[in-house]
Amino acid sequence: MSTQEQNFRYSTVREQMLEHLFVSELMQEAWFGRKQPMDVLRSEVDSSGYDLVVECNGITRHIQLKSSLVESKKRYLSVSAELARKPSGCVIWLRIGPDATGRRVSIGYYFWGSAAGKPLPDLGAFQMTKHTKANVQGTKAERPGHHNVPPSQFKKVSSVQELAEILFGLPVKGHTF
């Protein structure tokens, strides 16, 4: 089975693995690098525009996770307008590929949002997302409440350390068990 077919066929498995990997990386950075506990809540229903609620350093972030293969040529990422109703809502885009061994994932982090405590940038500046499937007449209707945010709007983040700083303003306190 090709990687593309495997990613399509097992997309839910892939999404869950990436979510767990992301949470693990962020929690390790907060705990070992910043001496801060982190609380993580998962959304069971995808109707409010976020996948995770993460609280650390007195800051609560509603996070929508997006992922794509590093070689993917995304023209936009669909962002729910519901996310804009949440304080400190943001989107984290995981660009993934194989590591040097080909047996583990390598992640590049991209961030779209505002400083902690601030709402998302105005989604009204972006086109509405269209449904992926056409209706009987062959028309792809707009998907209410979802907007196309181009990749150029996302800030490339060099590491999970930098991401923790962006999300929670956490100062580095050293690495010890």
pLDDT digits (tens, 9 = 90+) for 48-100: 899 999 999 999 999 999 999 999 888 999 999 999 999 899 999 999 999 99
Q: Provide the H-helix boundaries in 94-176.
A: 160-168
CB-count exposure of residue 100 (10 Å: 0-12, 13-18, 19+): exposed
Instruction: For residue 174, name the pLDDT band (cuts at 50, 70, 90).
Output: low
Counted domains in the chain? 1
Distance, CA of 151 to chain centre: 12
Tell me whether residue 176 is in a domain: no
Share of the chain above pLDDT 90, in %: 66
Structure tokens at 93: 């885009």
Taking alpha carbons only, the member of 21, 30, 119 closest to residue 79 is: 119
Contact (Cβ atoms closer than 8 angstroms) between residue 107 and residue 98:
no
Taking alpha carbons only, the member of 20, 5, 154 closest to residue 74 is: 154
- Quote the domain boundaries for residue 161: 3-168
Q: How far apart are CA 42 and CA 127, in angstroms?
A: 28
Outline where DSSP puts E strands in the chain.
39-42, 52-56, 59-69, 77-80, 90-98, 105-113, 128-130, 142-149, 155-157
Q: Give the range among 6-10, 62-66, 135-139, 172-176 with minimum mean pLDDT.
A: 172-176
Tell me whether residue 112 is in a domain: yes
Tell me whether residue 64 is in a domain: yes
Q: How far apart are CA 1 and CA 128, in angstroms?
A: 35
Question: Furthest-apart CA pair in the chain: how many Å?
Answer: 62
Instruction: For residue 29, name the pLDDT band (cuts at 50, 70, 90).
Output: very high
pTM surpassing 0.85?
Answer: yes
In the block, tokens 């936009």 appear at 76
Tell me whether residue 41 is in a domain: yes
Contact (Cβ atoms closer than 8 angstroms) between residue 53 and residue 41:
yes
Tell me whether residue 174 is in a domain: no
Count of CB atoms within 10 A of residue 120's CB?
24
Tell me whether residue 177 is in a domain: no
Tell me whether residue 14 is in a domain: yes
Tell me whether residue 173 is in a domain: no
